[in-house]
């Protein structure tokens, strides 16, 4: 009984607004569910193909920040041939085959691409796994971010990506990865504080990431929240069917 804040971070989920969700903070009391906050959205040039090519996701993230100046202010030449880059930017400009997403999983892909770990993958989540495996665990620092909007709140990752771009070439990939992970945990803490619900559940495929799950659990607990993580049911697709049964049984309203 009572309210629970679900931090639901995954790669792809169909949202009630018709966009692709995956970076959500859902407030629920087992009778209704409300999108209380989410990561700032961006476009995925070529849709599903971006899942197989993190470089496309990186371009979508950078275009959201810099618009048509993206080719000038960011080092895209190593990722794309010139003609290919122009076509993808035109797709983003016109919104052609470029769905909007708030996905935390795709944000992992974008950062993995930007730091040069992986531009193409052979399975979903490969780039994110490489980013996790590369991190230096003794790092405590993070990057800036902003919380804005209202009902729902939105988590602005633009300052984080700007800082990552500044670090590329000046800091080891392991340090950048650790700071990125640490920042995501602080985003969770910041949103949880604003929403003010004591019980917090961590779920979704992103929480297969051991470091992120442990870091987030520790930081939320330090701030006085009761944190719940998966034990017998997996946080990714393997747990969806159980969740659907609960939603159907309870008649949860969105």
| Rounded distance between C-alpha atoms, residue 49 and residue 178, angstroms | 27
Work out the average pLDDT over 103-132: 96
Is a pLDDT exceeding 80 seen at residue 77? Answer: no
226 is written with which tokens? Answer: 């009761």
List, in order, residues 6 or more apart from 141 with CB less than 8 Å away. 178, 179, 182
pLDDT of residue 98: 97
pLDDT category, 64, cuts 50, 70, 90? very high
Is a pLDDT exceeding 90 seen at residue 4? Answer: yes
pLDDT of residue 180: 98
Work out the average pLDDT over 115-131: 95
Main-chain dihedrals φ then ψ at residue 13, nearest 5 degrees: -150, 140
| Rounded distance between C-alpha atoms, residue 96 and residue 88, angstroms | 9
pLDDT of residue 145: 98
pTM of the model: 0.95
Is a pLDDT exceeding 90 seen at residue 215? Answer: yes
Work out the average pLDDT over 6-15: 94
Is a pLDDT exceeding 90 seen at residue 141? Answer: yes
Task: For CA atoms 192, 161, 148, 129, give the dihedral sign.
Answer: negative
List, in order, residues 6 or more apart from 67 with CB less than 8 Å away. none
Place of tokens 């993230």: 61
pLDDT of residue 203: 96
* Mean per-residue pLDDT over the chain, rounded: 94
DSSP, residue by residue, the chain: ---EEEEEEEEEEE-TTSSEEEEEEEEE-SSBEEEEEEEPPEE-TTTTHHHH-HHHHHHHHHHHHHGGGHHHHS--TTTS-HHHHHHHHHHHHHTTT--EE--HHHHHHHHHHHTTS-SS-SSTTHHHHHHHHH--TT-------EEEESSSEEEE-HHHHHHHHHHBTTB-HHHHHHHHHHHHHHHHHHHHHHHT-SEEEEESGGGG-HHHHHHHHHHHHHTT-EEE--SSS-SSGGGHHHHHHHHHHHT-B-
* Residue 126: closest CA among 212, 34, 54: 54
252 is written with which tokens? Answer: 């949860």
Is a pLDDT exceeding 80 seen at residue 209? Answer: yes
Is a pLDDT exceeding 90 seen at residue 165? Answer: yes
């Amino acid at each position: 009984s009572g309210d629970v804040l679900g931090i639901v971070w995954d790669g792809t989920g169909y949202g009630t607004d018709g966009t692709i969700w995956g970076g959500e903070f859902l407030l629920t009391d087992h009778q209704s569910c409300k999108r209380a906050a989410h990561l700032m959205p961006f476009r995925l040039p070529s849709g599903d193909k971006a899942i197989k090519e993190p470089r496309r996701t990186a371009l979508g993230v950078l275009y959201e920040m810099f618009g048509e100046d993206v080719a000038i202010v960011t080092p895209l030449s190593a990722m794309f041939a010139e003609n290919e880059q122009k076509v993808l930017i035109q797709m983003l400009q016109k919104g052609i085959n470029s769905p909007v997403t708030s996905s935390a999983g795709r944000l992992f892909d974008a950062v993995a691409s930007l730091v040069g770990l992986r531009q193409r993958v052979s399975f979903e989540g490969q780039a994110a796994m490489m980013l996790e495996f590369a991190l230096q665990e003794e790092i405590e620092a993070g990057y800036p971010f902003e919380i804005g909007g209202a009902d729902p709140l939105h988590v602005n990752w633009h300052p984080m990506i700007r800082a990552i771009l500044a670090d590329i070439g000046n800091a080891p990939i392991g340090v950048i990865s650790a700071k990125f992970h640490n920042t995501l945990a602080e985003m969770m803490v910041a949103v949880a504080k604003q929403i003010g619900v004591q019980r917090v559940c961590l779920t979704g495929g992103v929480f297969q990431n051991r470091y992120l799950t442990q870091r987030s659990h520790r930081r939320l607990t330090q701030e006085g929240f009761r944190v719940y993580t998966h034990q017998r049911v997996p946080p990714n697709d393997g747990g969806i069917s159980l969740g659907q049964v609960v939603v159907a049984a309870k008649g949860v309203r969105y």
